[in-house]
Copies of this chain bind each other. A is one copy, B any other.
Amino acid sequence: MQGELGQKSHRAVSDAALDRLLPPETQLPSELHAAMRYACLSPGKRLRPAFVLGSCEAVGCDVSRAHDAAAAVEMVHCFSLIHDDLPALDDDDLRRGIPTVHKAFGEAVAILAGDALFALAFETVARYEPATLARDLVLELTRATGSEGLVAGEALDILVEGRPVDLDTVRWIHERKTGALIAASCAMGGLIGNASPPTVDALRSFGMAIGLAFQVQDDILNETSTPEQLGKAAGSDRARGKATYPGLFGLERARDFATELHQRALAILDEIGHCASLRGLARESVVRSA
């Protein structure tokens, strides 16, 4: 780690930006804003914001320029968690060690809080100057999230539950469900830092490799951890017949695959400048127990 971005600080920086950008609970409808804040400011790794900040630092830009975009990707992440946790989808009661949004606020408010976070994320990046950067950030985020990105991954993940799947399908789901937003987070940091198109592409590829590695590790932890360690349900993937690498390969080969992706991601960084923060974040994404 180096520069402004220490191991501890990226969470504080992201949370300060989220707190500033999210409407106050005193504003109508209070329950909606309370749910949005509950989702975004609950304990969590703030990994995606850290990738925005780390990528901005890597291309030599003042990291404070990236604070709002960091908050925006966390809003998108929380929108997707809220909807994914709903009874009609994964039906999870626990997230980040506390009740999921629909458990705390009811399903109607949860659905709408997700929608509102999604809109606020786009508004946040659309406010960047100059307008060409704002537009690039919006497009980076829409491509990563829509029916060819995050939402596509979530949909196929649900649709293939309990069905036999091949490696290509698992990869297709994971690239979209997890890889796409982490890839976009890295690209956005580069865009804000005015990096060249090849550098932005390299950051996106790095993010995709680490995003996949993160998801493989997530699936491994789902099989091997307790709910207390994870702050969410454990063993649930197998119970639901989810498409996962450990399910397809076994734990050992899944671990090897995560390591291989980690190495591939680090090799991409060799092309880019000041990557100490990104290397640290890559390690945090793969070598972790929660």
Instruction: State the A residues within 8 Å of B (CB).
Output: 23, 27-29, 31-33, 36, 79, 83, 86, 88-89, 106-109, 111-116, 118-120, 122-123, 126-127, 130-132, 134-135, 138-139, 141-143, 145-149, 151-152, 154-156, 158-159, 172
Contact: B135 with A111, CB < 8 Å? no
Q: What is the chain B residue whose CB lies nearest that of A151? A: B116
Contact: A151 with B106, CB < 8 Å? no
Cα distance, A138 to B125, chains bound together (Å): 10
Contact: B152 with A123, CB < 8 Å? no
Copies of this chain assembled into the complex: 2
Chain B nearest CB from A24 CB (Å) reads: 11
Cα distance, A196 to B265, chains bound together (Å): 49
Q: Would you mind naming 11 contact pairs between A and B with Cβ atoms under 8 Å apart?
A: A29-B156, A31-B159, A88-B111, A109-B155, A115-B115, A115-B145, A116-B146, A116-B147, A118-B119, A122-B122, A131-B134
| Most chain B CB within a 10 A radius of its CB, from A108, A120, A172 | A108
Contact: A142 with B155, CB < 8 Å? no
Please list the 5 inter-chain residue pairs (A to B) with the smallest Cβ-Cβ separation, ordered nearest first: A119-B146, A88-B107, A123-B142, A116-B147, A131-B131
Cα distance, A120 to B27, chains bound together (Å): 29
Residues of B within 8 Å of A33, CB to CB, are 147
Residues of B within 8 Å of A23, CB to CB, are 147-148
Residues of B within 8 Å of A122, CB to CB, are 122, 138, 141-142
Chain B nearest CB from A124 CB (Å) reads: 9
Cα distance, A142 to B54, chains bound together (Å): 27
Contact: A32 with B155, CB < 8 Å? yes
Q: What is the chain B residue whose CB lies nearest that of A124? A: B142
Contact: A120 with B147, CB < 8 Å? yes
Residues of B within 8 Å of A127, CB to CB, are 139
Contact: B111 with A89, CB < 8 Å? yes
Contact: A156 with B28, CB < 8 Å? yes
Q: A118-B115, A135-B131 are in contact. Are A32 and B142 (CB under 8 A)?
A: no
Residues of B within 8 Å of A108, CB to CB, are 88-89, 155, 158
| Most chain B CB within a 10 A radius of its CB, from A113, A149, A151, A154 | A151
Cα distance, A86 to B102, chains bound together (Å): 14
Chain B nearest CB from A135 CB (Å) reads: 4
Contact: B131 with A111, CB < 8 Å? no
Q: What is the chain B residue whose CB lies nearest that of A123? A: B142
Cα distance, A203 to B186, chains bound together (Å): 39
Residues of B within 8 Å of A147, CB to CB, are 23, 29, 32-33, 36, 113, 116, 119-120
Residues of B within 8 Å of A123, CB to CB, are 138-139, 142-143, 146
